[in-house]
Structure 1
Amino acid sequence: MSSNIAVIFDMDGVLLDTEMIYMKAWEERARQTLLDVDFVRDMVLACTGTTSAMTKEIMIQRLGSIEAYEEGFTYTRNYFHKYINDNGIPVKKYVRDILQYLNSNNIPTGLASSTKEAVVRQEISEAGIIDYFTVILGGDNVVNGKPAPDIFLDCASKLKANPKNCYVIEDSFNGIRAAYAAGMHPIMVPDLRQPDDEIRSYCEAVLPDLNEVMAFIRSKLKSDQ
Structure 2
Amino acid sequence: LRDMDVINTELMLADLDSMIKRIQKVEKMAKSGDKKAIVELALYTKIRDALDQGKPARVVVPESEDEKKLYKELHLLTSKAVLYVCNVAEDDMKTGNEFSNKVAARAKEEGNESIIISGAIESELSQLSDEERIEYLQSLDITEAGIQRLIKAAYKLLGLETYFTAGEKEVRAWTIRRGTKAPQAAGVIHTDFERGFIRAETYHCTDLFEYKSEQAIKEAGKYRSEGKEYVVKDGDVLLFRFNV
Do both share a fold (TM > 0.5)? no
TM norm structure 2: 0.26
TM-score, normalisation: structure 1: 0.27
Of structures 1 and 2, the one scoring higher in RCO (CA 8 A, sep 6+) is 1
Larger radius of gyration: 2
* Bigger share in strand: 2
